[in-house]
Amino acid sequence: MSQELHQAAIDLIVNEGAYLDQKEWDQWLNLYTEDAEYWIPAWDDEYTVTNDPNTQLSLIYYGARSGLEDRIFRLKTERSLASTPLPRTTHMTTNYRFEPQASGDLEVLSSWTTHSYKLKVASYFFGQQTHLIRQTEDGLKIAARKIIVMNDMIANVMDIYSV
């Protein structure tokens, strides 16, 4: 794997957070492939997360980009009462590790934190995530994102902009 590919993958992940922070929803969606899976598993016990989004509890699960598109539609049209008003957010990622896949995709593991502020209350989520990055005709895209939320005692709304 080349350093250029590693840097391009990091740039993609950093842009993902920046688009969410800036509420540039269409640009954020464009980072994902049509068949992209977006998954936040729940904790099964103190040390184990669920491993099957089809049969076990998830905090958020979309099996394809169409689910993300629906979520963005509700945010853009203010049809999400739980997200009104939208919080101000700052996404940060670090500790990137790269695992080339036999398929040609690149798995990128990283740590993340998101700080948010809404209605005079500051909050944050943090955890670990795995992005599956794929080369497409339109450049690098996210083919899957799995997000582990370490502080899962959720005192407020968790949504795609929270992680």
Average pLDDT, the chain: 94
- Quick one: tokens of 129? 């995530």
pTM of the model: 0.95
Please say if the pLDDT value at position 153 is more than 90.
no
Domain of residue 93, CATH code: 3.10.450.50
Beta-sheet strand order (sheet of 88-100): 58-62, 32-41, 139-149, 121-136, 106-118, 88-100
pLDDT in tens, 46-77: 999 999 999 999 999 999 999 999 999 999 98
| Beta-strand relationship, 32-41 and 139-149 | parallel
pLDDT band at 1 (very low <50, low <70, confident <90, very high): low
Count up the domains in the chain and report the number: 1
Structural domain containing residue 135: 3-162
